[in-house]
């Protein structure tokens, strides 16, 4: 096995008297693809900061191979001190890095390099930080929730970019499909310690469940042994006590082990408060249209949603998903057409912007509406503290203001409040934001068991596939089309995923116009920035690969190599095959671009 580029051993860190990390370890080798997973609050982001050198642990060691480069994407990047996005991204480059790569990444992420950093939204700042992390192509990329604030086209673009990267990756993400597609090793941070699975995330959940089941069996055996020892102590022969002090000490050791055993964190308890059943027809929209100025958001759209349907709305950022949701629920009047809401429809909503949570409101008041200390949930009356525990809030948080909560805690609070409202139509606008994988599982089960109707907006492909029966997709120019099945079924029917240019919202041009202008032209008149850059740099890349191939062939021609070092022979053979494959791909790409350049010049 290759020596690690980055190694953390026996890392310990305590917050507020409680151990957050208690012997955690990370080992990252060249080219490794590692997913770091765990519950919200388990310390994943803190461990990644220690790996990046941004936080110092109380104890433990951190080793980085001399000369190895590391880039870290934090959840809350700081762009202060830089006038424009281009200046911010270029400042992350080192001598010898490709000076054009930052501009390409900003364009691909829908940002303009000339845009001032002091006018950015949180999502734009995150995308700029992502471009800065990727631009140098470092030896190790540490990415904390890289898909946050990205729409489906951007997520799929980022997947392709990371797949083609030679950097080793350590990813924190709650996007299952993203983790499945990119990871080959999984590191589970649980109760302060890490456990390593040398397989990708696709195998993680079955492995985790088996570990937890074995842990429960071991705990049950320990409890039984303690009871047996207590029984012996109570009824054993008095005359034998002096000869069995060792057995009594063993009992105390067993008790100490049982007291110190840290159980896995509890699960969220999702209970839905059901309203009276709605009529068979929940929503009927006929030839609905909506425009802002001269920009069509929805054009001549019709749909019929019946009781029990689960409908997903998908599209690029700015496509108008929230606008369509507001039209269908009656929150926004259409310019043309009609929307009819069925009989006895009671709506509960989770807002993607968390805007319905006043920052100074306490958790108690947010759940009770400021009326008493009880919550009606699932047909039962619960004390607010008991209801909070169902969503993994500590009793002492009852008086805490909403502004003190993390993103994941706000998401759980909105779930708790929405599910306590009597409703038969749940409107979920990005409900998966900041939720950990276990909570997503429970939300998925709740949706499956929910007897009412659900409208869901999400960029989480796996969650859509697991929950909805049809998806309504933005096709561009205000056109929306419904497809049967989940996201994967829609892609199979359309033959492609979401179009990144199918954007209609008036807020979109601020950040998209500079990058989107060339693609929106009716016909290409010149090569794109990315293609022109590739055409210019590919010859040097091909020459470098040819030199590497010649070096490897000369090494393999040595008849003594295999006899003296079979592992080195195998490694060189594999490297030669990879270099030959890359050279062929580079030559094909250069020829394709050169032919395109000639066609455009002739046209």
**Could you tell me if 471 and 553 lie in one domain?**
no
Do residues 18 and 142 share a domain?
A: yes
Q: How many helices (H) and strands (E) does the chain have?
A: 19, 20
* 68 domain-assigned: yes
CB 44 within 8 A of CB 189: yes
230 and 122 housed in the same domain? no
Residues 420 and 463 in one domain: yes
Q: Is there a domain that residue 232 lies in?
A: yes
| Binding-site positions for ATP | 38-45, 315-322
CATH of the domain at 566: 1.10.287
Q: Terminal CA-to-CA distance of the chain, rounded, Å?
A: 54
Listed residue (393, 372, 454, 394) closest to 419, CA to CA:
454
Mean pLDDT of 395-415: 79
What would you measure as the largest C-alpha separation in the chain, in angstroms? 107
CA distance 233 to 209: 36
Q: Is the pLDDT of residue 497 over 50?
A: yes
User: Among the three residues 510, 539, 570, which one is the final residue of a domain in this structure?
Assistant: 510
SS3 state of residue 337: strand
DSSP string, 89-147: HHTT--TTS-TTHHHHHHHHTT--TTSBGGG--HHHHHHHHHHHHHTT--SEEEEESTT
Contact between 326 and 298 under an 8 Å Cβ cutoff? The reply is no
Examine the domain organization and report whether 221 and 167 are in the same domain. no
Name the pLDDT band for 498 (thresholds 50, 70, 90): confident
Domain co-membership, 399 together with 344: yes
Could you give the residue ranges of the DSSP H alpha helices within 450-565? 461-467, 487-494, 509-520, 529-556, 559-564
DSSP string, 419-479: HHS-BSEEEEESTTTT--HHHHHHHHHHHHH-SSEEEEE-S-HHHHHHH-SEEEEEEETTE
**Cβ-contact 282, 305 below 8 angstroms:** yes
Backbone torsions φ then ψ of 190, nearest 5 degrees = -140, 120
Same structural domain, 329 and 389: yes
Annotated binding residues, written as ranges, equal 38-45, 315-322
| 595: confidence class by pLDDT, cuts 50, 70, 90 | confident
Do 395 and 499 lie in a common domain?
yes
* Unique residue bearing structure tokens 């937890």: 212
Residue, of 225 and 477, whose pLDDT is higher: 477
Q: What does the pLDDT read at residue 244?
A: 56
Total tally of structural domains belonging to the chain: 4
Helices 122-134 & 101-108 angle (0-180, nearest 10) = 140
Better-predicted residue by pLDDT, 600 or 369: 369
Can you list the alpha helix ranges (DSSP code H) found in 287-406?
Answer: 321-328, 363-368, 384-390
**515 in a domain, yes or no?**
no
The Cα–Cα gap between 466 and 445 comes to 9
Residues 188 and 214 in one domain: no
Chain segment 519-549, per-residue pLDDT in tens? 333 344 566 767 777 788 888 888 888 888 8
* Co-location of 379 and 364 in the same domain: yes
Q: pLDDT > 90: what percent of the chain?
A: 34
Residues 23-28 have a mean pLDDT of 95
Q: Which of 391, 385, 486 is nearest to 435 (CA)?
A: 391
Same domain, 230 and 167: no
- The residue from 204, 236, 269 where one domain ends is 204
> Cα 593–596–598 angle (5° rounding)?
110
Q: What is the rounded distance in angstroms from the CA atom of residue 160 to the CA atom of residue 157?
A: 5
- What pLDDT does residue 520 have? 35
Output the pTM of the full model: 0.68
CB contact at 8 A, 462 and 175 = yes
* Across 189-194, average pLDDT: 91
267 part of a folded domain:
no
Bridge partners (DSSP) of residue 143 are 73, 171
Residues 6+ apart with CB under 8 A from 72: 48, 49, 51, 52, 54, 133, 142, 144
Strand stretches in 210-267, DSSP E: none
Residues 197, 290, single domain; the answer is no
Look up the CATH number of the domain holding residue 131: 3.40.50.300
Q: Is 603 helix (H, G, I), strand (E, B) or coil?
A: coil
Residue 266 included in any domain: no
**Confidence band of 518 (pLDDT split at 50, 70, 90):** very low
* Residue numbers of the domain that contains 414: 281-510
Statement: residue 502 has pLDDT above 80 = no
- What stretches of 173-255 adopt beta strand conformation (E)? 185-190, 193-197
**274 within domain boundaries:** no
Of 76 and 232, the one with more pLDDT: 76
Supply the DSSP symbol for 565: -
Instruction: Report the chain's mean pLDDT, rounded to a whole number.
Output: 82
Residue 560 is predicted with a pLDDT of 79
Angle CA 403–408–411, to nearest 5: 80
pLDDT digits (tens, 9 = 90+) for 40-73: 778 899 999 999 999 999 999 999 999 999 999 9
Position of tokens 């016909």? Answer: 523
Alpha carbon distances (Å) from 581 to 567, 574, 587, 589, 594: 21, 11, 10, 12, 20
Phi-psi region of 264 (alpha: psi -120 to 50; beta: other; left: phi over 0): beta
pLDDT at 267: 55
367, part of any domain? yes
CA 28 to chain centre: 20
C-alpha count within 13 angstroms, C-beta hemisphere, residue 352: 18
| Token output for 36 | 């770091």
**For residue 175, is it within any domain?**
yes
């Amino acid at each position: 096995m290759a020596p690690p580029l980055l190694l953390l051993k026996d890392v310990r860190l305590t917050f507020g008297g409680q151990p957050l990390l208690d012997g955690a370890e990370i080992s990252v080798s060249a080219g490794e693809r590692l997913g770091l997973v765990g519950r919200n609050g388990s310390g994943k982001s803190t461990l990644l900061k220690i790996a990046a050198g941004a936080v110092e642990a109380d104890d433990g060691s951190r080793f980085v191979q001399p000369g190895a480069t590391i880039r870290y994407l934090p959840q809350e990047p700081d762009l202060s001190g830089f006038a424009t996005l281009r200046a911010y991204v270029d400042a992350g480059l080192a001598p010898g890095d490709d000076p054009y790569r930052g501009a390409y990444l900003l364009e691909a992420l829908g940002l303009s390099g000339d845009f001032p950093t002091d006018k950015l939204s949180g999502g734009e700042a995150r995308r700029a930080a992502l471009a800065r992390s990727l631009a140098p192509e470092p030896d190790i990329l540490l990415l904390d929730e890289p898909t946050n604030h990205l729409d489906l086209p951007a997520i799929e673009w980022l997947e392709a970019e990371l797949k083609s990267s030679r950097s080793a990756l350590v990813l924190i993400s709650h996007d299952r499909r993203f983790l499945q597609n990119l990871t080959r090793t999984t590191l589970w941070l649980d109760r302060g310690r890490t456990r390593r699975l040398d397989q990708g995330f696709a195998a993680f959940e079955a492995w985790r469940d088996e570990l937890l089941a074995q842990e429960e069996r071991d705990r049950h055996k320990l409890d039984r042994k303690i009871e047996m020892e207590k029984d012996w102590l109570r009824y054993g022969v008095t005359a034998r006590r002096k000869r069995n002090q060792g057995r009594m000490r063993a009992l105390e050791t067993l008790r100490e082990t049982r007291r110190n055993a840290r159980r896995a964190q509890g699960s969220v308890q999702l209970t839905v408060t059901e309203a009276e059943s709605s009529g068979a027809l929940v929503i009927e929209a006929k030839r609905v249209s909506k425009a802002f100025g001269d920009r069509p958001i929805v054009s001549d759209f019709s749909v019929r949603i019946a009781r029990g349907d689960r409908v997903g709305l998908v599209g690029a950022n700015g496509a108008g998903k929230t606008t369509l949701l507001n039209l269908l629920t009656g929150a926004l009047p259409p310019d043309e057409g009609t929307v009819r809401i069925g009989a006895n429809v009671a709506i509960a909503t989770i807002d993607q912007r968390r805007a319905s949570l006043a920052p100074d409101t306490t958790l108690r008041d947010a759940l009770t509406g400021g009326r008493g200390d009880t919550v009606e949930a699932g047909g039962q009356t619960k004390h607010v503290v008991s209801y909070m525990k169902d969503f993994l809030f500590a009793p002492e948080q009852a008086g805490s203001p909403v502004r003190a909560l993390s993103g994941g805690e706000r998401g759980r609070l909105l779930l708790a409040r929405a599910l306590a409202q009597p409703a038969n139509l749940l409107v979920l606008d990005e409900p998966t934001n900041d939720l950990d994988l276990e909570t997503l599982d429970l939300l998925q089960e709740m949706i499956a068991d929910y007897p009412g109707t659900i409208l869901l907006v999400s960029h989480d492909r796996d969650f859509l596939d697991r929950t909805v029966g049809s998806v309504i997709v933005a096709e561009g120019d205000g056109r929306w089309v419904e497809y049967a099945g989940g996201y994967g079924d829609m892609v199979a029917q359309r033959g492609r995923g979401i179009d990144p240019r199918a954007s209609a919202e008036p807020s979109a041009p601020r950040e998209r116009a500079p990058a989107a202008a060339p693609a929106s032209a009716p016909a290409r008149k010149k090569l794109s920035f990315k293609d022109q850059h590739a055409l210019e740099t590919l010859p040097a890349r091909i020459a470098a690969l040819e030199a590497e191939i010649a070096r490897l062939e000369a090494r393999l021609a040595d008849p003594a190599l295999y006899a003296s070092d079979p592992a080195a022979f195998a490694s060189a053979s594999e490297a030669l095959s990879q270099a030959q494959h890359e050279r062929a791909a580079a030559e094909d790409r250069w020829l394709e671009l050169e032919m395109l350049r000639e066609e455009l010049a002739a046209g």
